[in-house]
Structure 1
Amino acid sequence: MSTTLPSGTPPTLEERPAGPRARIRRGARLTALVLGVVGLLVWGLLLFAWMIDETHFDRPSVELDALAAQVDRLPGVSQVQTDRWVEAPAFAIPTSWLSAVVDAAALPRLLRAACSTAHPEPLTWSLRVLTAADAEVALHATSDPARGAGGDRLCLDFGFDAMALVHELDRAAPGLAIQPTVLDDGGLAFIALDEEAPGGFSRLLPLVEHAPDLISAAGLDPNIQVEISSADLDVQLAPGESDAYLVLLTRLADDLAVRSFWSIPAGMGQDRVDKVQIVAPADQHTAIEDVVGASGLRIAGAPIGFIEP
């Protein structure tokens, strides 16, 4: 008796039912792939969070520690602190920072030491200078050994004559904590570092009065604009406006109970026009508008927004 076999070609390896070992291998590969994708996603989210939060990852160095010790030994210098870190996503280029408190009389010695340092990396210096008249001046600059080839490439360039300006602030604005900064447009800004005072902005009027002297001490062009900024005062003094602004602000503070005054130059507001915002009682609004309008300043015709104290 004969038997006829089914016709057709035999199944390929791919067509044959998988054996137990093959199924295990495929499952393992799939699990590894899923875990890899999840791991990349988690790492990406973590990296993004570090970037948004600007998380610092410490990278201490012997050279920075040695420089800090050298600075700390200088007479009149105290509270020396350093930090060196990297940030996501590169984790490669370190940022180095050194801060110190220095007596005004010791500032020249510290600046000479900065010029002579052999620190091999860019370094941001943050100095808090204490003067004889209880003024505090915050100075910030970066030394960079890769900047130029001259012997002064490590010297701190603040954009102005730091020692002369500290001396003038000590004379003109005793008791104030101020950070002078050169603006992108070449102007000079004085930022008050104290909190809003109960008595309003009157404490800052010496900066308005002596703005031309401060520019001269800084060694800058006398025709630049000066900005004075704090929590309760923000004004931009064009050349020749110092005296008129002093008269206006003194009258507003002493006679019309103005606590805060902010002038907003054209280009910063949505309407592209000069604006003024003032904190003052409602019963003084009309008188304030009259005084500002008669000031002869650029803001004389600017709209005034009032905020109740």
Structure 2
Amino acid sequence: MSRRLLLPVAGVLATALAAGGLTLLVWTIDETPFARPDAGFDRLTSEVAAVPGVSLDGAERWVEAPAFGPPTSWVGVAVEEPALAEALATACATEYADPVLWSFRATSAGGNALSFAGAEEPTAACPAPAVDASALLERIDGLGRGLELHASLREGSFALDSFEDVSGGLPALLPIVRAAEDLRDAAGAERGAPVEISGPWAAITVGPGEQERIAALLTTLVGEHGVTAYWATEDGLRIVAPDGGHAAIEAAVRGSGLPVADRPLRFEADES
């Protein structure tokens, strides 16, 4: 091969090697997913979707570069609460052997919705959710309508999160606070575990024996002082309320006997 031809060929090879190295580097950094279709996984999703009252929000099976280890499988399910038990049983009866990550959104006749996940580290296709969603939804239905909640167990606590600013804002959350321990018990979480209730307008932890006091404090703050947001953390308490009521609000918090009584309190402007 002549030198005149060899140089362009060498340039092409160098460019290809560089591009391949760059692609591998991108895969290493981004953990790029690659689809891995599987007939058994397709049967699993078809069987679950065939349950009356169930629809699929999505189903994926993939591996990630550069490791290209065992595939990850995920299924998202929307289900009417009466069909939930059959959907779970169908998933558990499948012949598909690989672990599956599950996401559920169950809706009730009472106009509420509850999302929850299967096992965090699954060893099979059976969802094995950590909460009893049917019992929990039944209890939520007795408290109000239009609630959109996510239930989980988190670092020893039972958590109810609202990722949407549902109609009614903080006042709509008060029935949940008043029934926090009942909801925890209905979900099958450990008795005595703290209950974390959070959303765009709230971060509330109900410790053992605190349910009535926290409910009474929030009822006063919302009903008498116009509080529209209440975020209580280990670092302090942040509240959104009309300017004229700050002194009375602070007095109510300091006299509540709750853990937040001794934490820093900051008032914030309403940016809604």
**What is the CA distance between 1:49 and its match in structure 2?**
5.8
What residue identity is the alignment partner of 1:42? L
Of 226-235 and 93-102, more deviation after overlay is shown by: 93-102
Letter in 2 for 1:301: D
Please say if residues 131 and 151 of structure 2, whose CA atoms lie closer than 8 Å, have aligned partners that are also in contact.
no
Which of 278, 283, 287 lines up with 2:248 in the alignment? 287
* From 172, 179, 187, the counterpart of 2:157: 187
Do the aligned residues in 2 keep the contact of 1:96 with 1:124 (CA within 8 Å)?
yes
Higher gyration radius (CA): 1
**1:135 positional shift:** 1.0
SS at match of 2:182: helix
Number of the residue aligned with 1:122: 99
Whole-Å separation in 1 of the counterparts to 2:137 and 2:166: 23
Shift of the alpha carbon at 1:45? 4.7
Separation (CA, whole Å) in 2 of partners of 1:107 and 1:157: 12
Aligned with 2:200 (options 231, 250, 263):
231
Residue equivalent to 1:176 = 147
Aligned twin of 1:93: 70
Distance 1:220 1:43, change over 3 A: closer
Cα distance change on mapping 1:74 and 1:143 into 2, 3 Å: farther
Q: Following the alignment from structure 2 to structure 1, what is the Cα–Cα distance between the partners of residues 249 and 237?
A: 11
Does 78-87 or 33-42 show the bigger shift?
A: 33-42
Contiguous gaps of at least 5 residues in structure 1: 1-19, 148-152, 266-273
Q: Which amino acid in 2 is paired with 1:39?
A: A
Runs of 5+ consecutive residues of structure 2 not aligned to the other structure: none
Which has the higher mean CA deviation after the structures are superposed, 122-131 or 85-94? 85-94
The CA deviation at 1:122 is: 1.1
1:68–1:80 CA contact under 8 A, matched in 2: no
Partner Cα separation in structure 2 for residue 77 and residue 31 of structure 1? 57
- Alignment check: 8 A CA contact 1:103 1:131 kept: yes
Measured against aligned partners, the alpha-carbon deviations of 1:17-48 in whole angstroms (never above 9, x if no partner) come to xxx96x66985696467436633553245325
Matched residue of 2:142: which SS? helix
- Aligned residue pairs total 270
| Equivalent residue in structure 2 for 1:255, among 220, 224, 227 | 224
Contact 1:232 1:262 survives alignment (8 Å) = yes
Q: Aligned residue for 1:276?
A: 237
Q: Percent identity over the alignment?
A: 33
Q: Distance in 2 between matches of 1:200 and 1:170?
A: 18
Report the Cα distance in structure 2 between the residues aligned to 1:250 and 1:284, rounded to whole angstroms: 15
Distance 1:141 1:41 in 2: 38
Instruction: State how 1:3-152 maps to structure 2 within 5 Å.
Output: 27=7, 31=11, 34-35=14-15, 38-48=18-28, 50-51=30-31, 55-79=32-56, 81-142=58-119, 147=123
Deviates more, 1:222-231 or 1:64-73: 64-73
Q: Find the residue that maps to 1:108 and give its secondary structure.
A: helix
Contact 2:148/2:166 (<8 A) preserved: no
* 8 A contact 2:114–2:133 mirrored in 1: no
CA distance in structure 2 between the partners assigned to 1:39 and 1:303 by the alignment: 55
Q: Is the 8 Å Cα contact of residues 143 and 155 (structure 1) preserved in structure 2?
A: no
Which string of whole-angstrom CA distances, capped at 9 and with x for unpartnered residues, describes residues 101-128 of structure 1? 2111111111211221111211112111
What secondary structure is seen at the aligned counterpart in 2 of 1:172?
coil
Offset, 1:281:
2.4
CA–CA distance in structure 2, aligned partners of residues 70 and 287 of structure 1 = 58
User: Could you state the TM-score of these two structures normalised by the residue count of structure 2?
Assistant: 0.88
